[in-house]
Amino acid sequence: MVFMRAVRLLSAVILVSSALACRRDATPAVISAEQVPNALQQGFATATGESKTLADAVGTALKEDNTVGAWTMLNQVKQRSDLTEQQHEVAAKAQRALIIKLQEAADRGDAQARQAVEAYRATK
């Protein structure tokens, strides 16, 4: 009887812990290119200096429909050593979103987008 209570209690603790862990990691693994400016603004809200300037410039470039320029600046952001874990995570999500957008533009015949995609693939 005591053993069964202990098993039930342990099961309940595991269940609650799992639920809390899932709730804590509620950020989506993938964002769209349209979400990148807001994601960068939030992720880099506390950043200072060049990291903040570059992240803001990526958002501005996207709002101006300059995906290749945004891609170039985002790669500069990702190479910085002063990023927090959250900033690195946001930049990685933004990178995934932009490579998809660049591939779509390349498929439509955009030569600059095609060059950016090919350069990216050459590094992978």
23-31: long-range contacts at Cβ-Cβ below 8 A with a sequence spacing of 24 or more? 27/89, 28/93, 29/93, 30/93, 30/96, 30/97, 31/93, 31/94, 31/96, 31/97
Q: What is the pLDDT of residue 16?
A: 43
Mean pLDDT by groups of 10 residues along the chain of 124 residues: 50 46 54 94 93 95 95 95 94 96 96 95 88
Q: What is the pLDDT of residue 120?
A: 93
Instruction: At 65, list the tokens.
Output: 């429909």
Instruction: Tokens 């910085």: give the residue.
Output: 80
The CA distance from 83 to 41, in Å, is: 14
Q: What is the pLDDT of residue 59?
A: 94
Q: What is the pLDDT of residue 11?
A: 46
Residues 6+ apart with CB under 8 A from 40: 55, 56, 58, 59, 90, 91, 94
pTM above 0.85, yes or no: no
Instruction: At 2, list the tokens.
Output: 């005591």
Q: What is the pLDDT of residue 30?
A: 83
Q: Rounded to 5 degrees, what are φ and ψ at 29?
A: -75, -25
Q: What is the pLDDT of residue 124?
A: 79
Burial 112-122 (b: 16+ CB within 10 A, else e): ebbebbeebee
Q: What is the pLDDT of residue 28?
A: 55
Break the chain into its structural domains and give their ranges.
28-122
The CA distance from 31 to 96, in Å, is: 8
Q: What is the pLDDT of residue 6?
A: 45
